[in-house]
C-alpha cells in the first residue's frame, strides 16, 4: 500500500505547479461556456481565458477572490488551477497583430 501510494503521489505531482498570486496581481481565469444553438453561439470559438482580473484576496490555501480590474466588480472565488498569470502584450506584438499577422 505504501509503495502504491508513493507511486500515485509521484505521478500526480509530475505536472503540478507551485504558484501563489499576491493580492493586487493580475491574472486570467479559464472561461467556462456552453454552446447555444438558439443564439447561434459556439463554445468552441469562445475565448479560453478571461481577463485580466485583479486578485482581491486569498480565501483559502488554493482559492482566490477575484475582481474585474476596470469595473471593480467581484468575479467570485476561483481555484488556483483555473488561473494563470497575466502578461501584458508588448508594443511590438500589438503592432504586429494590427498589421494582420498571425
Beta bridge partners of 35: none
Please choose, from the candidates 37, 24, 13, 5, the residue with its C-alpha nearest in 3D space to the C-alpha of residue 69.
Answer: 24
Domain at 17-98, CATH from 2.30.110.10, 3.40.50.300, 2.30.30.140, 2.40.37.10: 2.30.30.140
What is the per-residue pLDDT across 29-55, written as a single tens digit (0 to 9) for each? 999 999 999 999 999 999 999 989 999
What residue ranges do the domains of the chain occupy? 17-98
Query: Nine-digit cell at 91?
Result: 508594443
Q: For residue 95, what pLDDT is reported?
A: 55
- At 17 the pLDDT is 77
The answer to whether residues 76 and 64 touch, using CB atoms and an 8 Å cutoff, is no
Amino acid at each position: 500500500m505504501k509503495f502504491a501510494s508513493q507511486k500515485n503521489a509521484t505521478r500526480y505531482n509530475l505536472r503540478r505547479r507551485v504558484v501563489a498570486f499576491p493580492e493586487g496581481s493580475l491574472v486570467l481565469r479559464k472561461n467556462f461556456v456552453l454552446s447555444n444553438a438558439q443564439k447561434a453561439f459556439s463554445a468552441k470559438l469562445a475565448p479560453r481565458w478571461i481577463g485580466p482580473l485583479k486578485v482581491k484576496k486569498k480565501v483559502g490555501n488554493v482559492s482566490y477572490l477575484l475582481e474585474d480590474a476596470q469595473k471593480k466588480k467581484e468575479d467570485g472565488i476561483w481555484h488556483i488551477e483555473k488561473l494563470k498569470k497575466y502578461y501584458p502584450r508588448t508594443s511590438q506584438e500589438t503592432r504586429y497583430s494590427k498589421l494582420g499577422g498571425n
